[in-house]
Amino acid sequence: MTLAPMGNSALAYGAGESSLQGRFVTHVSIVRVNQIEVTPNHSIGEDEAADNSPDHIRSRREAFARGCPEGKMTWAISWLALNDNRQEYKDARRLLASYHEQYGDEVTFIPGGYFAPMYDTREHIRGTIHKALQLISEMVGNGYRPECLVAGFMDAENQRFLAEEEGIHVCQGQIWSQHGIDNGDGDGGICYPYYPSREHYLIPAQGPADFIDCVCLDGWTCDFLAARRNGFEGGFNSRMGVGPIETVGNLGEGAGRKEMMATTAMHFDQGHALNGFGWVTGIWEVSVGHDRDLIWWLQAVKERWPDTQVLTEGAFGMEWRKHTPNNASLDYRFDAKGTGAPGSEKELEIRWFMNQEFRLGLLNNWTTDSPVMVLDFTRYDLAAHEPEGLQREWSLMNVLNQKGTRPQDKPIRLGQLAPEDQRRIYTRYPELKKLA
Over residues 14-26, mean pLDDT? 74
Quick one: pLDDT at residue 1? 32
Q: Are strands 34-39 and 42-47 parallel, antiparallel or unpaired?
A: antiparallel
* Structural domain includes residue 12: no
pLDDT, tens digit (0-9, with 9 covering 90-100), for 194-211: 999 999 999 999 999 999
> What is the C-alpha separation between 49 and 254, in angstroms, rounded?
30
Query: Which of 13-17, 298-302, 312-316, 396-400 is the least confident region?
Result: 13-17
Over residues 250-267, mean pLDDT? 97
> What is the C-alpha separation between 62 and 71, in angstroms, rounded?
12
**% of the chain exceeding 90 in pLDDT:** 94
Mean pLDDT over each residue of the chain, to the nearest integer: 94
Among 323, 349, 380, identify where a domain stops: 323
Distance of alpha carbon 376 from its chain centroid, rounded? 18
> What is the C-alpha separation between 111 and 151, in angstroms, rounded?
6
Count CB neighbours of 104 within 10 A.
13
Over residues 44-57, mean pLDDT? 94
Quick one: pLDDT at residue 38? 92
Quick one: pLDDT at residue 369? 82
* Structural domain includes residue 14: no
- The parent domain of residue 334 ranges over 328-435
Nearby residues of 426 by Cβ (< 8 Å), 6 or more positions away: 432, 433
For the stretch 8-12, contacts whose Cβ atoms lie closer than 8 Å and that sit 24 or more positions apart, written own/partner, are 9/270, 9/273, 9/274, 9/335, 9/351, 10/270, 10/273, 10/274, 12/431
Quick one: pLDDT at residue 59? 98
Same domain, 249 and 388: no
pLDDT at 415 over 80: yes
* Structural domain includes residue 15: no
Confidence grade of residue 7 (pLDDT, cut at 50, 70, 90): very low
Same domain, 161 and 203: yes
Quick one: pLDDT at residue 3? 39
* Structural domain includes residue 5: no
Query: What is the CATH number for 180?
Result: 3.20.20.510
Among 323, 342, 377, identify where a domain stops: 323
Quick one: pLDDT at residue 195? 98
Nearest 10 degrees: CA dihedral of 187, 193, 198, 203?
-40
Nearby residues of 325 by Cβ (< 8 Å), 6 or more positions away: none
Same domain, 363 and 221: no
Same domain, 354 and 295: no
Same domain, 272 and 131: yes
Over residues 138-160, mean pLDDT? 97
Same domain, 375 and 302: no
Among 269, 290, 323, identify where a domain stops: 323
* Structural domain includes residue 91: yes
**% of the chain exceeding 70 in pLDDT:** 96
Same domain, 215 and 245: yes
Over residues 136-141, mean pLDDT? 97
Distance of alpha carbon 347 from its chain centroid, rounded? 26
pLDDT at 42 over 50: yes
Same domain, 160 and 35: yes
Phi-psi category of 27—alpha, beta or left, where left has phi over 0 and alpha has psi -120 to 50? beta
Quick one: pLDDT at residue 21? 95
Quick one: pLDDT at residue 234? 93
Nearby residues of 184 by Cβ (< 8 Å), 6 or more positions away: 114, 115, 117, 118, 152, 153, 175, 178, 392, 394
Same domain, 256 and 362: no
* Structural domain includes residue 316: yes
> What is the C-alpha separation between 312 and 318, in angstroms, rounded?
10
pLDDT, tens digit (0-9, with 9 covering 90-100), for 224-245: 999 999 999 999 999 999 999 9
Taking the alpha carbons at both ends of the chain, their separation in whole angstroms is 9
Same domain, 339 and 370: yes
Same domain, 196 and 336: no
Number of domains present in the structure of the chain: 2
Quick one: pLDDT at residue 15? 38
Same domain, 369 and 286: no
